[in-house]
Structures are given as C-alpha cells and as structure tokens.
Structure 1
Amino acid sequence: MPKDLDTGTPAGLNWAGNLAYSAARIEQPTSIDEIAHVARTAGHVKVLGSRHSFNDVADTDGVALSLETMPGDLVIDPDAHIARVPAGWRYGRLARALDERGWALSALASLPHISVAGAVATGTHGSGDAVGSLATAVAGLELIDSAGVLRRLGRGDTGFEGAVVSLGMLGVIVRVELDIMPAYEMTQTVYDAPRWDAVLADFDAVTGAGDSVSLFTSWRNPQTFDQAWVKTRGAAPLELAGARRASGPRHPIPGADPAPATAQGGESGRWFERLPHFRLEFTPSAGDELQSEYLVPRGRALEALERLRSLAGQIAPLAMITEVRTIAADTLWLSGAYGRDTVGIHFTWQPREAEVRALLPRIEDELLPLGARPHWGKLFTVDAEWMPRLYPRWDDFRELTRALDPRGAFRNAYSERMGL
C-alpha cells in the first residue's frame, strides 16, 4: 500500500507514478526571498509537497517549487495552544517534534509522510465523529502571493475560510499555524468481519466507538466489512457490530503483511504512533496504487453505501480496499465537510488507471446526486458544471483567487477544468 515518500520517488513523478509533472523546471528555494523572486517573475508556479496527489492539482507548465530544503523551526505558543510550522514539513516530523515538547494534534491522516501545507490545501483528513479535517486545525497561514508579497491570514480575517483549503491557487504557503493540545496516549483495536447490516443499523454507535474509527471493505463479501479499526483514548469495546477483536496484527488490505501498520491489539502508545494507520519509519517495498475518495453528507451515507454495494461486482475486481471514515462539519469554503458532518468513502485501486477511470463515472452517478464531493487530490471525473452545486461558496473562492492572484500565476490545467 504506502511506500516511503521521502525516498524512491523520482522528482518528475508523483508518488503513485501515474503522473509525470510537466514543469519546465523544479527549484528548491532556501529563503523567503528566493520564493518571492520565483512567484514574482515566473509565468506559472506550483508547489510540490510530498507528491501524494493522484492527479495534476499541483502540476504546472512553469516552475515547480519544493519546500523540503527550506530552513525553519517549530515555534510553540503555549498560552495560545498554537504551533507555527514550516509548510514543507511532513506530519510525521511535526508530530514527533510536538510530542517531545508535550504537545499533540487532534488528528492525523493514515499516512504520516504527507506534507502539512499540501494536506491542508487539499482537504485531507483522518477520522472521527467530533474531529474535523486536518485543515480545521489551521489558525493562520503565511503565503507569498504572485507579486512576491508575504501575507498573513488568520482566523477572523476576510477570506481566511477560503484560503485554507485553497488547492495552491492563492500563493506559496510558507508557514502554517496549527491548533495544538497537550500530548496524550491512545490504543488501537482491530475487529474482524463486522456485519454489514449491523453496521448500518447502528452506524452512529459504530463510528462513535472511539476517537477515530475506520471501516474497511474489499467488496468481496456482501454480508460483512473486512475490518473495523478503533483508535481511542478510552476503552475499546469487546466486540463491534457482531465482530470480535482480531487475534493478531492486521493490514488494512486483508492478507497483506501487517508490518507497516501501527501497533494494534489495544496496546497503549503515543498519539502519533496510533492515529496513522502506517508507521513513519517503515519503508514498504511496494506502493503501486491509485486512489479516489468521495465525501458524502452524513445523513446520506447509509444510502451511499447501499448504492455502492449494488456495484460491488464492478468495484471488487479493481479495488484493493475501500475505507469509510467520518469527518466533522467545518466552515472552510472548499472543504469536503463544508457545512455538514461528512462520511468519506475512500477507494484504494489497483494500478489499472484506464479501467478505474472507466468505472468512476458509474460510482459518481450514484454518489453525486447525494451531494458527494470528490477529494481534490485523488482521481475523479467530476467537472466544472457540478462544482458550484457542490460548494455553496464556490463563487466567493473564485473572487478570492482573482484578488490574491490577479495574473493567474497559480492557476493550471486542473483549475481550468474545475472552472476556477
């Protein structure tokens, strides 16, 4: 499933290897002045984070910037419970640095290898009924606009709620301010084969069984999910939806080597060693996969899952696994959870892109009428016609991009397809 994002990825390819970036050149600035010069003088600019997008959201025909070599330190304001973080840092690095100083985040994604700014800008999330996406922890942003001017936007500022999940369209994010909390411990418990009907009959109880709950299905057994993973600071239930605790460690993909997975079995550990599904230090030997995700209003989630179950015969031959997670509502304009509690339905596909792309319209035909929003960094076929219907603040975001980037330096082919 995942592979190490710090090594083994050619500079011109994304993580999955399904996209070759079209940038004329890639630069690694080491100062704010260097970034400002590129932003001011290049025709088009985009920032490459950990390259974990499966589409061309971060592509450009101009200059691609990598912020991995930018100097900078973690700065903590203990009174405000805010951490000021270099935008190019990976969450794994940030989590360890926070924990060493007695602090933590409320959520992490399944991979700790992804960059802070890239994950925030695309609305990436973890799981939890009461937990928002990673972007909801953002208290402030510092960015360099297309005039080379360093700007700061903080909560309460005009346009802030449009600037957080921004698809990299407003400027080069150089620092991110994040809400933090005192460090904590938690456990992770896996349950084998929770019954499908039992999950849907008491969905709130299942997703509320821990601080973070994930359901996994390969679509091969219409009667059960493959697994449920419960991460909690409290006590995990003895059984869940008719399923008992797993007898040993598991990988999200049934039968796969569980070595890359974080510790399970109810063993207590540090928050950053339980919230992700995968260990930061592990370098898997394989990671050839594609991903899609659709973010469905929680009130329509059970209908969405049943609609997908009717397509199980078409999904199963291409899917490695599908993960179901919950995300709390937020007020960020382009967030998948804007204005509503949300359920994310995430597909990890075999690397058969033509076949996956042929299937996606069938999935979207079922989910879009329910209000599903595609994850910005993954594969989907939704076009510009749908976007204003899915995002109530769509026009406001377009106006914000024109205000901060009047010459369109941060637009690209992706934004054009989206009608931005």
Structure 2
Amino acid sequence: MLTNWSGNHRYAAARRHRPATVEELQTIVAGADRVHALGSRHSFTDVADTPGDLISTAGLPVEVEIDAHRRQVRASGGATYGRLAAELQAEGWALASMASLPHISVAGAVATGTHGSGDRNGSLAAAVAGLDLVAADGSLRRVRRGDPDADGQVVALGALGVTTHVTLDIEPTYEVRQDLFTGLPWDVATEHLDALTASASSVSLFTDWVSGTVGQVWLKSRDTTPPPDLFGAPAATSTLHMLAGADAAAVTEQGGRPGPWHERLPHFRMEFTPSRGEELQSEYLVPRAHAAAAFEALRSLAGTFAPLLQVSEVRTVAADELWLSGTYGTDVVALHFTWVRDVAAVYDVLPGIEAALLPLGARPHWGKCFAATASELRPLYPRFDDFRELALRSDPDGVFRSDFLARTLDLS
C-alpha cells in the first residue's frame, strides 16, 4: 500500500513504475491510457494520483548542470530541493527562496505553486526558466520562458506531462541569519503588517488565531540585522519549534548566527522528519490588500477550528504571471494551517473557512486540503479557461486527466 507523506491518502493507481532512464519513462507514458507523475508524496490530496499508471521520478539520475553565464541551473525534476541546494552551495550558487521543507521534489513543488516567504520573493515556480517534459505521446518537449503559453505550463498540476528536468534562476551564494521573537499582539501585527513583513528577507508569523497573539515571529535576514525587540515583542532566548512539544533539533539554526542560505531558509533540517509527519495541511493565498479582513475573519471563526489546529503560519509571497499560480497578478498573504490528522473533521471546517476567504480572492494551495471545486475556483483565476484550453489541446486523449483535475479544473 502506497500512501502520501502524512498517510491520509492511499494512492489508487492500478500500476506503479520507477523508471531508471528518461527513455524508459517515455515508453511507459506512450503505452498508458492514464498516467501521472509522483514526486516526494508531500501533497495532502489526490493531486498526484491516477487510476492508471503512477510514475515515480525518484529513480531517474540526479543531474545538476550549472550555467554560470546565464545564472541558471538545469536539475532533475525528481531531485529534492535539499539535494539541489547542497550541490549549488558547493559550487558557490544559490536559489532566491526555498520552502519550509527541503524534502520536497523540484518538479512537484513547482507544479503545485509551492513557496517560501518574503515580500520580494516569488513562489518557487517564479524561478523557472524552462521545463523538459514527456508529453502524452511519449515525446520529449522543451518549454522555455518567453515561449507561447509558457506561463501556463509551469504551475500545471501534472496535466501537461511528466517533468524530467527543471531549469531555475540562480544567484551567487549568500548567508542568512534567523532570529525569533515571541508574543506579538495581533492588533500590533495587523497595524504594522507592512513594516513587519519588510523587516527581513523572509518572515513567518505563527499563531493559533484564538490567543490574541502571534506566538512566534521568524525572521530570516540576509542583508539586515533585526532589532533587539520587534514592535515590543522580545527576542527568543532559546531554540523554538513552531509546534508545541515538538523536538527543536529538527528546525534550522536560530539565534542570529549567520550561515549558508540553504541551512536557514527552510524551517526544517533535511535529516529530520519535518513538522510532525502525521498531520494535514491547508493553505489559502489572499491578495495582500485584503490581509486585514482575512485576519479578522479567521479570528472570528477560530472557535470552530481551533481544536483541530496544531499551528497556523502567515507568510507573504510576491506576484507572478503564471496562470494557475496562487500569486498570479497579485502579492499575497499566505494563510497556512497545520491540522491534526482527522480527515473528516478537517473537511467539515474547510467550507466555513473558504466561505470567509474565497470572497476576498483567496486561492487554495493546489497540493493541500481544500473543499472548493471548479465552479468556485474559476472566478479566482483569470487564466482558468486558458489553462483548460491548453490542457485539452496538449493532451486531447486525456492521458494525464485524473479525478482531481476533473473536480478542480473541470478537465475530465
């Protein structure tokens, strides 16, 4: 039995494959009626499932090819960000942003619009300069930034092919320090939100929505030194995990000691199980202009979902032009929820949260738990129907179609 990382989804595929070469992958796709790629299994839904052939790209050779002149790296889609980051650092290069987990695969994170944090940092997909993928007929296809419809092919949920390689923008290596502050009142956080999120390269606010405070603020700074206190919130005096009672050894180094970018930007160390493992996650990306209204809505609803919540994280992400990106056309505040692993109870509270947030323009993270279907999602994405047309044109026989795509994008 194959499950996702948290154990809440059992993959329904009739057959599973782990090709060792791109040529073997091409043969599998060309002979399949239904097929989907599988990355690091960190999604919390059936976004990466299929009734047919499930293809893990983890068995393909890991390749990291740096083009210093173009300041780009071509990496295997099945490689983890942790592996890629270590190899870039060894050669004196870096990525502009990383997600909280380095354990996730490059292609899977890009395809679902996964992100880190920072007012000037786009999602991981925003760094994509090109994709190499296996199309529905088994042929190899290359997409490059600036090609027709290229912006529709990056955050694509596996609907257009199996990605073998991703080309990403890189920059010279740099150091980051991580400082934590505790007990920031919500009213202060809301009043000073712009200054707060601009106070470091990457800022995360952790809360329970019921206590009236932001319990922890994580600042990851590459060019600035944080103040001794943050709008009155004192600096933490010991290493903290954002989850109560969890092992602080799993988090990346805190306390203001500078270190390599890839050892500070993620929240968790590569060698540890991130977070708690047995959990569910949801996330909604709200246009930044509506951040205060979203905060107020969640604080008023908190009594309905607080018993299921382990912690909530608030981050910011910069706009991009990728059609299905949660940050398409607008800077956002990302509202993340780490739930206990009670599927029925979590899905019971999601409609209430979405009823409050979707009218504000909130877009759910494609790889995490949400209840909205195609009719509710279409108004949130100006290029929704353009993507559907692209998918129908690229895959007329529906080789890459799935229950998830039918439910969320009306692709059946």
Check conservation: 2:326, 2:364, Cα contact below 8 A: yes
For residue 237 of structure 1, report the CA deviation from its aligned partner: 2.0
Q: What does residue 21 of structure 2 align with?
A: 31
In the alignment, which of 341, 361, 373 is matched to residue 351 of structure 1? 341
In the alignment, which of 230, 238, 253 is matched to residue 263 of structure 1? 253
- Partner Cα separation in structure 2 for residue 241 and residue 364 of structure 1: 31
1:334 aligns with 2:319: no
- Aligned residue type for 1:335: S
Check conservation: 1:84, 1:175, Cα contact below 8 A: yes
- Aligned residue type for 1:13: T
For residue 165 of structure 1, report the CA deviation from its aligned partner: 0.1
Q: What does residue 4 of structure 1 align with?
A: none
1:17 aligns with 2:4: no
1:242 aligns with 2:248: no
1:90 aligns with 2:103: no
- Aligned residue type for 1:229: W
Q: What does residue 100 of structure 2 align with?
A: 110
Q: Deviations over 1:190-247 (max 9, x none)?
A: 101111111100100000110000000023412x111100000121122113201101
Q: What does residue 267 of structure 2 align with?
A: 277
For residue 285 of structure 1, report the CA deviation from its aligned partner: 9.8
In the alignment, which of 396, 403, 411 is matched to residue 413 of structure 1? 403
1:227 aligns with 2:238: no
1:188 aligns with 2:178: yes
Check conservation: 1:195, 1:241, Cα contact below 8 A: no
- The residue matched to 2:374 in structure 1 has which SS? coil
- The residue matched to 1:156 in structure 2 has which SS? coil
In the alignment, which of 43, 47, 63 is matched to residue 73 of structure 1? 63
Q: 1:308-387 residue pairs with structure 2 within 5 A? A: 308-387=298-377
In the alignment, which of 283, 288, 303 is matched to residue 293 of structure 1? 283
> Structure 1 runs of 4+ off > 2 angstroms?
254-257, 283-286
For residue 284 of structure 1, report the CA deviation from its aligned partner: 6.4
1:124 aligns with 2:114: yes
For residue 255 of structure 1, report the CA deviation from its aligned partner: 3.7
For residue 275 of structure 1, report the CA deviation from its aligned partner: 0.2
Q: Deviations over 1:160-199 (max 9, x none)?
A: 1000000000001000000000000010001011111111
Q: Deviations over 1:23-44 (max 9, x none)?
A: 1111011112111111111110
1:252 aligns with 2:253: no
Paired residues in the alignment total 409
- The residue matched to 1:259 in structure 2 has which SS? helix
Unpaired segments of 5 or more residues in structure 1?
A: 1-10
- Partner Cα separation in structure 1 for residue 87 and residue 252 of structure 2: 19
For residue 52 of structure 1, report the CA deviation from its aligned partner: 0.5
Deviates more, 1:248-257 or 1:76-85: 248-257
- Partner Cα separation in structure 2 for residue 108 and residue 178 of structure 1: 12
TM-score (ref. length: structure 1): 0.96
For residue 283 of structure 1, report the CA deviation from its aligned partner: 3.9
- The residue matched to 2:155 in structure 1 has which SS? coil
For residue 384 of structure 1, report the CA deviation from its aligned partner: 1.0
- Partner Cα separation in structure 2 for residue 52 and residue 335 of structure 1: 18
- Partner Cα separation in structure 2 for residue 273 and residue 254 of structure 1: 22
In the alignment, which of 394, 402, 407 is matched to residue 384 of structure 2? 394
Residues 267 and 305 of structure 1: CA distance in aligned 2, closer, same or farther (over 3 Å)? same
1:145 aligns with 2:135: yes
TM-score (ref. length: structure 2): 0.98
- The residue matched to 2:315 in structure 1 has which SS? strand
Check conservation: 1:209, 1:237, Cα contact below 8 A: no
- Aligned residue type for 1:230: L
- Aligned residue type for 1:176: V
- Aligned residue type for 2:23: D
For residue 287 of structure 1, report the CA deviation from its aligned partner: 1.4
Check conservation: 1:318, 1:350, Cα contact below 8 A: yes
In the alignment, which of 152, 168, 175 is matched to residue 165 of structure 2? 175
- The residue matched to 1:226 in structure 2 has which SS? strand
Residues 49 and 301 of structure 1: CA distance in aligned 2, closer, same or farther (over 3 Å)? same
Check conservation: 1:16, 1:52, Cα contact below 8 A: yes
Deviates more, 1:106-115 or 1:246-255: 246-255
CA RMSD for the aligned pairs? 1.1
- The residue matched to 1:165 in structure 2 has which SS? coil
Unpaired segments of 5 or more residues in structure 2?
A: none
Residues 396 and 285 of structure 1: CA distance in aligned 2, closer, same or farther (over 3 Å)? closer
- Partner Cα separation in structure 2 for residue 221 and residue 329 of structure 1: 31
For residue 286 of structure 1, report the CA deviation from its aligned partner: 4.4
- The residue matched to 1:95 in structure 2 has which SS? helix
- Aligned residue type for 1:278: F
Check conservation: 2:135, 2:161, Cα contact below 8 A: yes
For residue 14 of structure 1, report the CA deviation from its aligned partner: 0.4
- Partner Cα separation in structure 2 for residue 395 and residue 122 of structure 1: 18
- Aligned residue type for 1:275: L
Check conservation: 2:34, 2:53, Cα contact below 8 A: yes
- The residue matched to 2:130 in structure 1 has which SS? strand
- Partner Cα separation in structure 1 for residue 86 and residue 69 of structure 2: 20
In the alignment, which of 288, 304, 312 is matched to residue 294 of structure 2? 304
Check conservation: 1:219, 1:315, Cα contact below 8 A: no
